A and B are shown apart, each in its own frame.
Chain A
Amino acid sequence: MNSIKKHDLATLGACAVLFAIVQTLLFADFIGPFWELNIILILINVILSVSLNLINGYTGQFSIGHAGFLAVGAYTGAIVTVKLGLPFELALVVGTLCSALLGFLIGLPTLRLNGDYLAIATLGLGEIIRICILNIEYVGGASGLMGIPRFTTFAWAFWITVFIIFVIKNFKNSAPGRCCLAIRENEIAAETMGIDTTKYKVMAFTIGAGFAGTAGVLFAHYFYIAHPASFTFMRSFDILTMVVLGGLGSMTGAITGAVLLTAISAVLAEYPEWRMVIYSLTLIVLMINRPQGLFGSKELSLKMFRLGGSDNGRATESK
């Protein structure tokens, strides 16, 4: 069997073991609702972080409006279950597709901007989405959409997260993924090497947005309510911090950043202002001293978790 397939199966096996352990702990009530909440929150943040990393880290585009896609997924998924009474599985699909579609429509015109301008545009678009939601009575306007059934379980969240990580990992190690990396490295050279940079930027953006939407559906169906205040620029900033702390361009980094910062958030839940002050100071100090974050753009390769997925069968650092 192909060495790549072997890696993937081994990783899946390890995930299954991890899942079994946590699920048993939950079933047996060894760990209670507080833990379940935070574990699911971690998984949702991992999805957000990893999907933003696809756009910012792998493709080098500066998108800081990710909360907007989270919102679209949450609301459209909730409409499917609450307003239309359709199953959760459909909500997941619809939420993902709607966010992806929005990402595509937004990406097409804005991705020809670069650097700072793209950042501001995505920030603006994230805000426009939130303001629009605020003004739509059908989804509850300023009070939010309530009464969303809790369909998200640990199992759903876990396996969807694993699936998304695999999709993005495989994307990165394929031709379209390499094109995205090339665009990040040197956009002009990439164009000259025959790469339609707009196509791949939009592709990465769409996929990233879509998965943020998936996270949104999971989020809405755990916390019973979708409220505009959950999707502000601060949320986008939180996700960005996770990716940057972990290291732009590193999947391991994105996952680590999400886990760490969700944990810190949980600890500091009582003191939101202190949390923000600590976050911002951490970010400033980090940017000045180690802008590449914890992992830079490298992946961690442990014996069991071959997250990098090297094509040559080498188990050490891949890109």
Chain B
Amino acid sequence: MNTILSLRPEHSAAIPPSVSIGAPANPAARHMAWVATGGAIALAASLPWWGESSWMREFVEIACYLIFAMMWNLLAGYGGMVSIGQQAFFGIGGYAMLALGNLAGVNPFIAVPLGAIAAGVIAVPVSWVAFRLQGGYFAIGTWVIAEVFRLSFANLSVVGGGSGTSLTALRGISKATREGITYWTALACVVASIALVYLFLRSKRGLALLAIRDSEVAAESQGIDVRGMKLAVYVVAAIGAALAGALYFLGNLRISPDAAFSVNWTAFAIFMVVIGGIGRIEGPIVGAIMFWTLNKLFSDYGTWYLLGLGLMAIIVTIFFKQGLWGWAQQRYGWTLFPTQRRLGK
């Protein structure tokens, strides 16, 4: 790279190259994309009037997988913090929503974002411990922290101890109303999460984050506050994971420590992100849809199904380092959410 640049003096530092985001600007195509996105959201929002209630339940489930995987992707793929402990925040989100609803009398639908914010607050002191470790040891350390939360909630009798409890705050609301509002909440959470991650990555802070991922030392020497950035990403990822958890248990109506803090949540998120392609927004979306489809088709096979998922994660990691979507993107030049920056002439 250096040799090529030195051979071409017109690229010297005197003429700063302009930086543009994403694909070459094509106003008409971009306009179409926005209209299509808006139309798809409007169509999705009207589902309760024409769809079946099972579709709404399925959507809520996919939404939880998707948001959780997207936040894991933000943390690991962009922040460089590979965690096996994000189920800690998934569970905290679920329990906070349930406690606010059952014990404090807050409307459970409003308790969903409140539970997510609670997890964000808890993430700050948790980061003081977790950030003592790096790389692979950070991953296992976060897992220990998640286990501490699981065992602690299992000893809290006010939320049912080890056997868990039910979301009684929704009693008295008709099933149709409950399912409809849960569905809209899920849709709003998905749209908000995708928009948040997309805008964040296109912002100046997003660029700083990519610089940190590529080299912490170099980023720091350019004046980027590496510690502050990492903390911000950790907290945002915790809020997102908790949002997924609160949503999941709002749809599920029953929570237990083993379900809420199961390492499987993070295992599935890793699977989705790796299959779809890490470090790109489309990755978790493609991964979540594939995971949901595989789940529908093969989950009856139980252990064989899980064994297959494990094998698939190994094979994709070794042979498709960019994930399946990344592989297709490279091969065919597709992109849905342009966040990469190109040097212009």
Interaction A to B: no
Using a CB–CB distance below 8 Å, which chain B residues touch chain A?
none
Using a CB–CB distance below 8 Å, which chain A residues touch chain B?
none
